Amino acid sequence: MEPNRAPSTFRAIAFVVAVMTLGTALFWHGFFGWREGAIYVPGKSQPSFIATPSGNTAASFYSHTFGFMGVGGLLVLMALWITWSAFFSSSPKRPQVFALLASPARTHGTNLPWWLFWGVVVAFVVLLLWTARP
């Protein structure tokens, strides 16, 4: 049996930094496209194109730029909220939030059947192969 030890602060900080970095990168990608007035839209079964806010590609431009900025902004806000609730809040839930962030993922395990695990892996590989087809 493992002795009780204090939760690792490194895991909690690493999670918050990873979410903050991903959110910032997504937001800046959308913001730079907005600022430049054009964004590259890769096509799956059609040719790729550059979307601009005027003309036939305006809907693609706005959906890509606002989509990237929106998802990135939500991730940054989530990371800030987690940081506040885990490290700076005085609420009674603070130790629970910090312990959840700092604990390894296996301690909260649910017993997944092996067939479900491999089914998800195979479905993900099939999805990647389907999106990579010409």
d(CA 100, CA 15): 11
What is the span of the domain harbouring residue 64?
Answer: 8-104+111-132
Write down the pLDDT at residue 77.
96
For the segment 45-56, the average pLDDT, to the nearest whole number, is 85
User: Could you tell me if residue 22 is inside a domain?
Assistant: yes
- 23 lies in a domain? yes
Q: How many domains would you assign to the chain?
A: 1
Distance CA 130, CA 44 (A): 9
pLDDT tens digit sequence for 54-66: 888 888 889 989 9
The percentage of residues in the chain with a pLDDT greater than 70, rounded to a whole number, is 87
Q: What does the alpha-carbon distance between residue 46 and residue 55 come to, in Å, rounded to a whole number? A: 19
Q: What pLDDT shows up at residue 130?
A: 81
Say if 1 falls within a structural domain: no
Predicted confidence band of residue 85 (pLDDT cuts 50, 70, 90): confident
Average pLDDT in the 34-54 region? 86
Q: Is residue 2 assigned to a domain?
A: no
Whether residue 17 lies inside any domain: the answer is: yes
pLDDT for 7: 56
Weakest-pLDDT range from 35-49, 67-81, 83-97: 83-97
Whether residue 13 lies inside any domain: the answer is: yes
Q: What is the pLDDT of residue 134?
A: 62
Query: Which is higher by pLDDT, 10 or 79?
Result: 79
pLDDT tens figures, 87-134: 787 777 777 777 777 776 665 556 778 899 899 999 999 988 887 776
Chain center to CA of 114: 26
Sign of CA dihedral 66, 71, 74, 76: negative
Mean pLDDT of the chain: 83
